[in-house]
């Protein structure tokens, strides 16, 4: 048995903190959290203060380290994207393919089947399109958007079985409640997004099995006092999870604070980055579907825009999202960490990570008290 014993840092187990304790890892899995006077034999790893927590989990990552998944939907691209986000504490992510051709979608599915097996930080696949609403296209290409057909249900169901974790963003206008039910029963995690739907249409999809809403507030029908829209339905439905982009550009902090206070269902909001290729890259622009996206300086972090000013994904990383939550969203450190670990794990049904509990993966991040990442581990090995 290969055993590692981590000491010297506060331990956050995904739910609460442990002081003056040690984390014991055996063969890449969590063995226990033990007292300092009751340690087994093993390699001792002494950390210089700070916090040791589960590795961050990001359900929506379009790119990183200079690579967009859409440019090359291959295992190599997925590994590179994951490596680009690892310095910021992310040990599990879903490479995200935005609206593209059927050929690109098939290639991404095939790539994810291989990449998930490699244990290099790729936990599944997120398909954000093509079943979105042109009225809420954002930076996606409207001409590639279309309704879900029965053949899509079969293909996505088969992909979920092969990949293990498949998240698909769909507009309520483009998928029926029956199709949502079939997809959900087949293991696909359905999230409603890029949708101009009514609250009633959204609720019908939620009741049929849609588990989430993609980047709450962005590219969706808004909350009105007589027309609650997708935002109102998402906040009101107790079973629905909502990803939020906490970068100071996508949503005003007052709106996020309101959603955090109002959301029915405990712990149902979690951080996503919606990151593009510039995270982990020194470049200041990239190409998206033939259009130039440029990086502009912002107060908290940079923002990414098309030539017409449309936001095109984010330039935020997960550690920065946590810092944003602490600074602007009135979050406690424990809740901000849960929004990057425990909650996305629960949403994606990644039951083997997101907590430091016996038998779970030893995916770890060590950071300073100011949430600057020092080191990450995947299955107990330095990453």
Give the whole-angstrom CA distance, residue 383 versus residue 375: 8
| Helix, strand, or coil (residue 361) | strand
Give the whole-angstrom CA distance, residue 174 versus residue 131: 6
Quickly count: other Cβ atoms within 10 Å of residue 44's Cβ: 13
- Residue 198 phi/psi, 5-degree rounding, is -80, 165
Give the whole-angstrom CA distance, residue 235 versus residue 320: 24
Reading the block at residue 47, the tokens are 């950390």
In sequence order, the 6+-apart residues with CB closer than 8 A to the CB of 10 are: 17, 18, 19, 50, 51, 52
Counting Cβ atoms within 10 Å, is residue 212 exposed (0-12), middle (13-18) or buried (19+)?
Answer: buried
In sequence order, the 6+-apart residues with CB closer than 8 A to the CB of 309 are: none
Sheet hosting strand 291-296, strand order edge to edge? 285-288, 291-296, 303-305, 311-314
Give the whole-angstrom CA distance, residue 219 versus residue 138: 6
Cis peptide bond prior to 85, omega within 30° of 0? no
Give the whole-angstrom CA distance, residue 297 versus residue 143: 31
Beta-strand relationship, 51-54 and 10-12:
parallel
Give the whole-angstrom CA distance, residue 6 versus residue 26: 11
Give the whole-angstrom CA distance, residue 129 versus residue 19: 44
| Helix, strand, or coil (residue 201) | helix
Residues classed as catalytic: 274
- Residue 152 phi/psi, 5-degree rounding, is -70, -40
Cα-trace Rg, the chain: 20
């Amino acid at each position: 048995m290969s055993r590692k014993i981590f000491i010297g840092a506060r331990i956050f187990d995904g739910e609460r903190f442990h002081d003056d304790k040690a984390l014991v890892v055996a063969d890449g899995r969590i063995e226990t959290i033990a007292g300092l006077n009751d340690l087994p034999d093993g390699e001792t790893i002494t950390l210089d203060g700070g916090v040791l927590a589960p590795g961050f989990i990001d359900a929506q990552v379009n790119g990183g380290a200079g690579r967009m998944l859409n440019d090359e939907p291959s295992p190599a691209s997925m590994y590179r994207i994951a490596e680009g986000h690892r310095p910021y504490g992310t040990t599990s992510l879903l490479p995200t393919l935005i609206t593209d051709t059927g050929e690109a979608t098939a290639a991404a599915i095939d790539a994810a089947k291989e990449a998930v097996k490699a244990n290099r930080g790729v936990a599944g696949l997120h398909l954000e399109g093509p079943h979105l609403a042109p009225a809420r296209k954002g930076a996606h290409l409207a001409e590639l958007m279309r309704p879900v057909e029965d053949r899509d249900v079969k293909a996505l169901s088969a992909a979920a079985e092969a990949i293990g974790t498949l998240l698909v963003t769909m507009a309520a206008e483009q998928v029926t409640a029956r199709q949502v039910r079939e997809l959900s029963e087949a293991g696909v995690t359905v999230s409603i997004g890029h949708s101009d739907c009514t609250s009633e249409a959204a609720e019908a999809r939620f009741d049929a099995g849609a588990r989430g809403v993609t980047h709450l507030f962005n590219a969706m029908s808004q909350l009105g006092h007589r027309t609650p829209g997708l935002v109102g339905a998402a906040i009101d439905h107790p079973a629905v999870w909502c990803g939020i982009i906490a970068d100071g550009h996508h949503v005003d902090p007052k709106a996020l604070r309101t959603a955090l206070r109002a959301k029915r269902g405990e712990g149902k909001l979690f951080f996503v980055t919606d990151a593009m290729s510039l995270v982990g890259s020194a470049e200041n622009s990239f190409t998206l579907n033939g259009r130039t996206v440029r990086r502009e300086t912002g107060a908290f972090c940079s923002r990414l825009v098309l030539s017409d000013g449309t936001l095109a994904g984010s330039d935020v990383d997960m550690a920065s999202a946590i810092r944003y939550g602490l600074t602007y969203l009135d979050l406690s450190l424990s809740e901000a960490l849960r929004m990057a670990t425990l909650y996305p794990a629960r949403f994606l049904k990644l039951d083997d990570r997101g907590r430091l509990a016996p038998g779970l993966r030893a995916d770890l991040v060590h950071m300073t008290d100011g949430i600057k990442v020092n080191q990450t581990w995947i299955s107990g090995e330095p990453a």
